[in-house]
Amino acid sequence: MADAESLIATLTGMADPAQREKYRRYFPPDPDAPFIGVRMGSVFALAKTAIDLPLAEIERLLAEPTHEVRALACSIMGKSAAHRKTSEERRAGLYELYLRRHDRIDQWDLVDLAARDAVGEHLVDRDRGVLGELAASPFWPERRTALVATFAFLKQGDLDDAYDLADRLAGDSEPFVQKAIGWVLRAAGDHDRERLTRFIERRARDLSRVALRAAIEHHDPHERARLLAIR
């Protein structure tokens, strides 16, 4: 069975300086979280081979500074939580690990790799009060997690938490939170366009233009123009 050390060695062997340069276009420079230059497609493929990796080994991956190594950890968590043969005990462990080590899940892509399946799916039939706690966090990745987790509920047509969190965070100053609000609202609107329209009419002035445009992307052009004019 693979362990953290062997997986890190595999990723290191895939490192490409040219790919590392490309990542600088999408992520701000961070000397404490370097890229080594591994394509995310390769990271995800490696994650598929390690979905049964013990939780302690996943945590070792999360402890690494290298971004691709932590992306591997998050991809393993998301894929493992979503796998139909994963036990409820392991899903609970993945959920707890994600929240306990959220300090290491500190970029938008890391959140997006695991929040829906490791957090949201775990909460589908449970108390969701933790999402309110995350939404109130000063650490913006936790606020993004709260939003992204609701995609698990939206799949089932359960819209209330998505709207509640979007309402709480509508005025958030962090662009990565605003982008998540837009995506969540758009998905909610695919289930109930009228409810989304009412929300936008009420909160458009508080949303960033990026979030607003994303939220109403599936409206017809005339309605989009009307809603954009509210802001």
Decide: 62 and 73 in contact? Cβ < 8 Å: yes
Mean pLDDT of the chain: 95
Whether the predicted pLDDT of 220 surpasses 90: yes
Q: Where are the domains of the chain?
A: 1-123, 129-231
52-98 pLDDT tens trace: 999 999 999 999 999 999 999 999 999 999 999 999 999 999 999 99
Map tokens 């890229």 to a residue: 35
CATH of 129-231, one of 1.25.10.90, 1.10.10.1100, 3.40.50.1100, 3.40.47.10: 1.25.10.90
pLDDT of res. 25: 75
Whether the predicted pLDDT of 26 surpasses 90: no
Question: Residue 81: exposed, middle, or buried by beta-carbon count in 10 A (0-12, 13-18, 19+)?
Answer: buried
139-166 pLDDT tens trace: 999 999 999 999 999 999 999 999 999 9
Taking the model in full, what pTM does it have?
A: 0.95
